[in-house]
Structure 1
Amino acid sequence: MGAATALRLSRDGFAVAVCDLTEDSCADTVAAVEKDGGRALAVGVDVRDAEQVATAVARIAEHLGAPVALVNNAGITRDNLLFKLTEDDWDSVIAVHLRGAFLMSRAVQQHMTAAGWGRIVNLSSTSALGNRGQANYSAAKAGLQGFTKTLAIELGKFGVTANAVAPGFIATDMTAATAARIGMTFEQFQDFAAEHIAVRRVGRPEDIAGAVSFLLSDDAGFVSGQVLYVAGGPQG
């Protein structure tokens, strides 16, 4: 989803900083953006680390200009039933999703408020509504929704909006890994999921990229503090 979003935002006219744990893991996305005629920068950063986040944001500002649009998309899963869930499983997921979004948002808000314009989009999930075997992930994604609404209240007077996109089943490496974990082929897993989705198909990364694109646009200037479920049917 991050790669598809980076490419879409580049086409929208943004210079894109692609962030991951290492710069090497950003290389394919950066290359795709540049091949498409856009500007991109690979940034290695652990979003759980405040010092690394500060350094990354400063580097982005130096090379691409003030970061006035932020998509908090970093995420991991450590799925298990509650009685099997370890403290590390809990802490790791909460740290990447919630602490990471907090640190990144705090670091960029100074650039946004100074510019009098900004857009923050946090990636939540339909799992925020509850999902078996995902107490940690569900809590993190629900927390992001509350975080988003609070950012909208605090930053709105500075011309900054904050919204969340909550994907349903999206065909990604993460959902492919889930299929493998439960002993299904990815095709079987997608077919099974599609049977329970109103539009009878699973989502594509481009579906999420399109939603993020709108929320970062001037057209969405009066949309803030909202959670948009991109799930092929009603949620929430």
Structure 2
Amino acid sequence: MGSMYAAVLFIGVTNGSAVQPVVSVERFVSYRERAAGMYSALPFAFAQIVIELPYVFAQTIIYCSIFYSMASFEWTTSKFIWYIFFMYFTMLYFTFYGMMTTALTPNHNVATIIAAPFYMLWNLFSGFMIPYKRIPIWWRWYYWANPIAWTLYGLLTSQYGNDNGPMKLSDGDSLLPVKQVLRELLGYRHDFLGVAGFMVVGFCVFFALIFACAIKSFNFQRR
């Protein structure tokens, strides 16, 4: 779980931060081109969203092919595809989140400042440092609203959620199936895997839509 958590957080934040200056420069170029009547705001936003899809997919394939074998995960078609699926949409929602914060702010420097606190909160409520069952009940709503939490949920349950192999507990004597440990200690259920997949796709769509609306609605051009 630690390797999954570290990879998701590091690669995700890197993607989100790297795209911000690119979007900022392209946005100000688009102001001039839109003023000349070359295209409107929404096609420009749609093009920026679409161009990220193959790039992030290539990034995902390269990363997953290397990491999956190094982590010694079980080589089954379904588990490998699920791993690629969750990593692809995770990298996408981080990328779209970086684009969204840039579109909502005057420049990428401000966008970085706005994005940072949310990265911190996503990290805190991801379910890694503090498992879901140990989070105070009045804060659990944020766990379910946290994209990283859904990513870790999907990655772990797709790899180990149906694993009946024995796992020794911290007392050194007790043995429980891996899937039971996930359910009882971390609150991860294998039958929730489809919901986790739907949620990571939903976050991608949500951030992309806000980005497109912000590009259409806000104009930070200095006159």
Query: Do they fold alike, i.e. is TM over 0.5?
Result: no
- Structure (1 or 2) with the greater strand fraction: 1
Structure with the greater alpha carbon radius of gyration: 2
Between 1 and 2, higher relative CO (CA 8 Å, sep ≥ 6) is seen in: 2
**Greater fraction of residues in helix:** 2
